[in-house]
Amino acid sequence: MFKNGLIASAMAVSVFAASSAHAQDTIKVGILHSLSGTMAISETTLKDVMLMLIEEQNEKGGVLGKQLEAVVVDPASDWPLFAEKARELLDVHKVDVVFGNWTSVSRKSVLPVFEELNGILFYPVQYEGEESQRNVFYTGAAPNQQAIPAVDYLMNQGIERWVLAGTDYVYPRTTNKILEQYLKDKGVAADDIMINYTPFGHSDWQTIVSDIKTFGSAGKKTAVVSTINGDANVPFYKELGNQGLAATDIPVVAFSVGEEELAGLDTGPLVGHLAAWNYFMSVDTPENDAFIEAWHGFIGDENRVTNDPMEAHYIGFNMWVTAVEKVGTTDVDAVIDGIIGVSVPNLSGGYSAMMPNHHITKPVLIGEIQDDGQFEIVWETPGLVVGDAWSDFLPESAKLISDWRKPMSCGNFNVETSKCGGIAN
């Protein structure tokens, strides 16, 4: 395994791996994750796990008889810079595939680049849906694989009032648009829904948490559905503790807080709060045990945690390797066509498949925060859920489907007009 010093050097330079003399004999894998700025708390680990997966594959003999070469860049939590770094990976370094991004605004920033230069992006984080792009494979959760099941779970626990709290960008706003409509369709009154947005890196939560506390004092059982992203989660959860808001009073279910984010918190006051993901480190399977052991051996620290987006990269990377070996080339068009239907193990003990809409099948898990920073799984779907690119709960989206197989090859096919690329008027 690579040592810590080598990992550190990968962060300090943009290209990590084989010497340039052998570059033509390698298959280049781009890694597009923030190693600095507000999202580094979440994304640095994803860079590390990609290096681990690449190293493991090289130890198996590489792909198509060639070693993989990781090309690491730092878009620094700067959304326009993501596009520049994506172009650098595809146009300068000539990578064969890219694994990267966290926030939806960063993903939206790079979409035109991948379309123009015909690259492949594996996106490993839960997102708002309402998108299906030919050059992108969405290995994180769509709303029907995370947000909707979480709300259903809370409703079954008797929740009647809802705080939709998010960071002010496209993922929380679109997800909350879907959730607001879903709640209203379920009979929740508009007065029982409170929506709040804060900027990235927001640190002063005293007033907002106080408002949540007041909102929850109306005699109806209340919960917070959190799409707060990045390091703003640290002061948010601290303020919950400061104001004595325990999970027994107003539970929080988070979509962007996992084991990595909890590692920087005093989790004592947070015990009982929830998160909805498709994987938790506490999953008890041989596959997960092996993954955790490999991770600790690679990173050189047995205290380092694993989390859901890491599993998404594990799934996506293995899907890409399988597809490349299936079609016998790293050619982008061949891989895009060949990867549909590819099925690989996930870490929950089953298999995840790439669907024609470029989303994958995943289980949905609800976890309860424990005082050791881990999650106890309190609920899960009985089987795998197929990711839905277009929400059934928004009228303009319910009529759209995505299918990238030929001859349709369309990400937004309108079933009412039988046309690609439009919404019926």
pLDDT tens, residue by residue, 352-370? 999 999 999 999 999 999 9
In the chain, residues under CATH classification 3.40.50.2300 are: 4-142+284-363, 144-283+366-386
Q: From residue 146, how far is each of 120, 143, 276, 363 by CA, in Å? A: 25, 5, 6, 9
Residue 404: half-sphere exposure toward Cβ, Cα within 13 Å = 24
pLDDT digits (tens, 9 = 90+) for 48-105: 999 999 999 999 999 999 999 999 999 999 999 999 999 999 999 999 999 999 999 9
Peptide bond into 407 cis (omega under 30): yes
pLDDT of 422 reads 60
Q: What are phi and psi of 379, to 5 degrees?
A: -165, 150
Two tokens at 232? 């703003």
Q: Does residue 9 register a pLDDT over 50?
A: no
Asked whether the beta carbons of 250 and 276 are under 8 A apart, the reply is: no
Radius of gyration of the chain (CA): 21
Residues 6+ apart with CB under 8 A from 164: 172, 176, 179, 180, 193, 194, 195, 196, 225, 227
Residues 6+ apart with CB under 8 A from 113: 83, 86, 87, 90, 119
Give the range among 54-63, 225-234, 257-266, 312-321 with minimum mean pLDDT. 257-266
Q: How far apart are CA 134 and CA 137, in angstroms?
A: 8
> What strands lie across the sheet with 67-73, from one edge to the other?
15-16, 67-73, 26-32, 97-100, 121-123, 136-138
pLDDT digits (tens, 9 = 90+) for 22-64: 446 899 999 999 999 989 988 999 999 999 999 999 999 999 9
Report the predicted TM-score, pTM, of the whole model to 2 decimal places.
Answer: 0.88
Q: Does residue 16 register a pLDDT over 80?
A: no
- Across the range 131-145, mean pLDDT stands at 97
Number of H helices, E strands in the chain: 13, 20
pLDDT of 423 reads 57
3-state secondary structure at position 96: coil
pLDDT digits (tens, 9 = 90+) for 328-360: 999 999 999 999 999 999 999 999 999 999 999
Burial class (CB in 10 A: 0-12, 13-18, 19+), 343: middle
Q: Does residue 187 register a pLDDT over 90?
A: yes
The confidence band for 6, taking pLDDT boundaries of 50, 70 and 90, is very low
Residue entry with tokens 């706003």:
173
Q: Does residue 183 register a pLDDT over 50?
A: yes
385, β-bridge pairs: 362
Q: What is the DSSP string of 368-393?
A: EE-TTS-EEEEEE-SS-EE--SS-TT
Q: How far apart are CA 224 and CA 154, in angstroms?
A: 10
Report the topology of domain 144-283+366-386: Rossmann fold (3.40.50)
13, β-bridge pairs: none
Q: What is the residue type of 240?
A: L
Q: Does residue 4 register a pLDDT over 90?
A: no
CA dihedral (405, 406, 412, 416) positive or negative: negative
**Which one, of 297, 237, 242, 239, lies nearest residue 267 by Cα?**
237
Q: What is the DSSP string of 114-130?
A: HHHHT--EEE-S-----
pLDDT digits (tens, 9 = 90+) for 240-264: 989 988 999 999 999 988 898 888 7
Asked whether the beta carbons of 377 and 367 are under 8 A apart, the reply is: yes
Mean pLDDT value across the chain = 92
CATH of 4-142+284-363, one of 2.60.40.10, 3.40.190.10, 2.60.40.180, 3.40.50.2300: 3.40.50.2300
Q: What are phi and psi of 411, to 5 degrees?
A: -95, -15
Residue entry with tokens 């279910």:
253
Q: From residue 109, how far is each of 16, 84, 101 by CA, in Å? A: 24, 9, 10
3-state secondary structure at position 186: coil
pLDDT of 269 reads 79
3-state secondary structure at position 56: helix
Q: Pairing state of beta strands 351-353 and 343-345?
A: antiparallel
Buried b (16+ CB within 10 A) or exposed e, 237-264: bbbbbebebebeebbbbbbbbbbbbbee
pLDDT of 24 reads 64
Two tokens at 103? 């926030």
pLDDT of 365 reads 97
Q: Pairing state of beta strands 375-380 and 121-123?
A: unpaired
State the Cα angle at 372 between 11 and 56, rounded to 5°. 40
pLDDT of 8 reads 39
CA dihedral (119, 312, 179, 250) positive or negative: negative
